[in-house]
Amino acid sequence: MPASEHPMSDFLSDMQRSMADDYRRIRGRAGEDPGTAGDEGENSWSALLSLWLPQEYQIITKGRIIFPDGHSSPQVDVLVLAPWYPKAMLHGKYMLSCGVVAGFECKLTLRPHHIKAAAGTAAEIARHVGINRSTPYDVLHSPIIYGLLAHSHDWKGPESTPLDNVSGHLKDACAELTTFPREAIDYISVADLGTWRSNRFIFLWRQAEREAEEQMRSLLGNSYHSPREAFGESGTTQVGYMVSVLSGSKQPNPVSDLICHLFYRLGYVNESIRGLVEYTNAVQELQADTQGLTVKSWDASFYPEPVRDALESPDLIPRYSPLSWNRWGQAF
């Protein structure tokens, strides 16, 4: 059976159509009551997550994340809570950071200032939530996934370039507001445009690579250009984003991209979802090409010493392996 005829593809396409229908319905009444329209937009995304995430996750709207030091986040529109989160504590508006899996800001129509504000909140949450220093994955990611969700966007003119606009504002916000890779926002998803999903890439010069470089230089002489010239003596760690783009007849499905990549991220802490990720990856038809965006780079100095030493060891050569959930990988 072709992937395009698989029932899973139908379900994923239905998500896209449902969000478009919601936008038209909510937008049509937004002038009468903007506040209610905003609430309906949040409820639309909340309902989508409730339908697609494993049923043991609890989804709430309008909550603040409270950290062990007593600091709390700004209000977050939609929160995904761990399966074990006590039901007795769901009635308040402060959610314990240790039980928050993901948080999302929701906008009916995306505008530039929304991107900067969401990137700032993502960075603030990552700074307060604490850091697991045991593996590269844990150092590079906040335990709370954070994103910005919108039904549509404000760049509708005939000469507008909405993909470039979102990418540009995202790059500027990350450059200004993120101090470490783990502070970068994980997702910006615009239902009728694209989903920007974050990735982290590690390039470090281990001893074995230095020796290989010397061999290449001895063979090729001055015609050999070392990657070290681009990445620096101590290597680099980069934060970037991938977004699906229109290519010929291949149409991007931003909502599907969001849900499928969210499944993948959850797979790092929830092994029970990994089978669904592998299944979805196997049957989902490639709908569009992808476009990459690098937003910021760091040298290796921010890694805790045990992790940095392990990464630089010739005995450990991390590689990118899709769906391996390897916390010592090269790309996440």
**Least-confidence region, from 143-152, 184-193, 256-265, 322-331:** 322-331
Q: Which of 126, 175, 180, 124 minimizes the C-alpha distance to 303?
A: 180
Q: What is the arithmetic mean of pLDDT over 99-120?
A: 96
pLDDT reading at 150 higher than 90:
yes
Helical (H) or strand (E) element with 203: strand 194-203
In total, the chain counts a number of residues equal to 332
Is 272 contained in some domain? yes
Instruction: Give the structural domain span for 134.
Output: 3-198+242-296
pLDDT reading at 326 higher than 50:
yes
Is 24 contained in some domain? yes
pLDDT reading at 97 higher than 70:
yes
pLDDT confidence bin for 80, thresholds 50/70/90: very high
Is 140 contained in some domain? yes
Q: Do 127 and 168 meet the contact criterion of CB atoms below 8 Å apart?
A: no
Between 222 and 311, the more confident residue is: 311
pLDDT reading at 324 higher than 70:
yes
Helix/strand/coil for 325? coil
**Least-confidence region, from 59-63, 112-116, 246-250:** 246-250
Is 191 contained in some domain? yes
List the structure tokens of 326: 């390897």
Distance of alpha carbon 309 from alpha carbon 206, whole angstroms: 10
C-alpha dist (Å) from residue 270 to 5, 132, 216, 243, 285: 29, 17, 43, 25, 25
The 10s digit of each residue's pLDDT in 202-220 is 877 655 456 556 665 666 6
The 10s digit of each residue's pLDDT in 259-315 is 889 999 999 999 999 998 888 877 665 556 778 888 898 988 888 888 888 877 766
Is 290 contained in some domain? yes
Is 230 contained in some domain? no
Between 20 and 161, the more confident residue is: 161
Distance of alpha carbon 105 from alpha carbon 82, whole angstroms: 18
**Burial (CB count within 10 angstroms: exposed 0-12, middle 13-18, buried 19+), residue 56:** exposed
**What is the DSSP code string of 53-105?**
S-TTSEEEEEEEEE-TTS-BPPPEEEEEE-TT--GGGSSSSEEEGGGEEEEEE
Q: What share of the chain is helix, strand, coil (3-state, %, to 5)?
A: 45, 25, 30
Q: Report pLDDT for 229.
A: 57
Between 189 and 39, the more confident residue is: 189
pLDDT confidence bin for 244, thresholds 50/70/90: confident
| Strands of the 100-110 sheet, one edge to the other | 94-96, 58-66, 76-81, 100-110, 145-153, 187-190, 194-203, 236-245, 289-298
Q: What is the arithmetic mean of pLDDT over 254-259?
A: 88
Q: Report pLDDT for 219.
A: 65
Q: Report pLDDT for 287.
A: 54
Is 223 contained in some domain? no
Q: Do 243 and 290 meet the contact criterion of CB atoms below 8 Å apart?
A: yes
pTM for this prediction: 0.88
Q: Report pLDDT for 149.
A: 96
pLDDT reading at 323 higher than 90:
no
Q: Report pLDDT for 45.
A: 92
Distance of alpha carbon 10 from alpha carbon 16, whole angstroms: 10
**Total domain count, the chain:** 1
Q: Do 147 and 195 meet the contact criterion of CB atoms below 8 Å apart?
A: no
pLDDT confidence bin for 104, thresholds 50/70/90: very high
Q: Report pLDDT for 11.
A: 75
Residue-averaged pLDDT of the chain: 83
Distance of alpha carbon 41 from alpha carbon 140, whole angstroms: 31
Is 133 contained in some domain? yes
Q: Do 178 and 146 meet the contact criterion of CB atoms below 8 Å apart?
A: no
Q: Report pLDDT for 91.
A: 84
Q: Do 194 and 254 meet the contact criterion of CB atoms below 8 Å apart?
A: yes
